[in-house]
Chain A
Amino acid sequence: GEDVEQSLFLSVREGDSSVINCTYTDSSSTYLYWYKQEPGAGLQLLTYIFSNMDMKQDQRLTVLLNKKDKHLSLRIADTQTGDSAIYFCAGSISSGSARQLTFGSGTQLTVLP
């Protein structure tokens, strides 16, 4: 099955850019997602990228996809303290008609004032 790996921790200064990295193993993943989770809360969908795209930008968020290396990154510009959370990368497995997600273990982003 799919494996998704992320670095566990990232600290940045407020106002700097954050880059969260993710690698995945299943080259047939059709969609790749980024979710944000604040303490004690559910998952908030941030953005997604279709596998035939290299880049997607959405306001302060930029997603880069390198299919050859199976590497996905999320860049947050002008990082704010409110961005402190756990960020999950997830890949979709096409399994019949299901679109299950396989998640990484999450990257804890800490934004320092």
Chain B
Amino acid sequence: DTGVSQNPRHKITKRGQNVTFRCDPISEHNRLYWYRQTLGQGPEFLTYFQNEAQLEKSRLLSDRFSAERPKGSFSTLEIQRTEQGDSAMYLCASSRPLGYSGNTIYFGEGSWLTVV
């Protein structure tokens, strides 16, 4: 396994700009998750894909946020009209289909967003 890959690792943007993060999951993992982590807190679930279908979205995912996984492989998370409150680390994770031992979820290194 090459691990979950995320980029960019760091992004500084001005308030009001749009940003996009990319996640490449572990190959053969059909489930992909986005989480957000703010300083001093644990990660919070944002959304989940099974293959290309977005099956669940948290109430944290406002209408300025959109996530896609067009071919069931990599995923993008776009934040439109960024606000300072969006400053956080955005973590991507992936896992195998249900039924595999532990359904362990592997995380990437995260993408840090700073909105100034």
Segment of A11-19, A59-67, A72-80, A97-105 engaged in the interface with chain B: A97-105
Instruction: Choose from B33, B104, B107 the contact partner of A100 (Cβ within 8 Å).
Output: B33
Distance, CA A101 to CA B94, complexed state (A): 12
Instruction: Choose from A41, A90, A97 the contact partner of B42 (Cβ within 8 Å).
Output: A90
Contact size class for A? Answer: 20 to 34
Say how far A78's CB is from chain B's closest CB, in angstroms: 25
B12 within 8 A of A: no
Q: Which residue of A lies closest to B46 (CB)?
A: A100
Distance, CA A100 to CA B44, complexed state (A): 9
Q: Interface SS of chain B: helix, strand, loop or mixed?
A: strand
Q: Is the CB of B102 within 8 A of A43?
A: no
Distance, CA A35 to CA B105, complexed state (A): 10
Q: Which residue of A lies closest to B112 (CB)?
A: A40
Contact size class for B? Answer: 20 to 34
- In the assembled complex, which residues on chain A have CB atoms less than 8 Å from the CB atom of B109? 41-42
| Contact of A98 with B108 at beta-carbon distance under 8 Å, contacts A31-B103, A42-B91 already known | no
Instruction: Choose from B31, B40, B103, B104 the contact partner of A105 (Cβ within 8 Å).
Output: B40
B65 within 8 A of A: no
- In the assembled complex, which residues on chain A have CB atoms less than 8 Å from the CB atom of B56? 95-96, 98, 100
B 77-110 binary contact with A (CB < 8 Å = 1; else 0): 0000000000000010101001000111111111
Given pairs A35-B107, A103-B43, 12 additional interface contacts (CB within 8 A): A42-B4, A42-B6, A43-B43, A43-B91, A43-B93, A44-B107, A48-B102, A50-B102, A95-B56, A96-B55, A97-B98, A104-B42
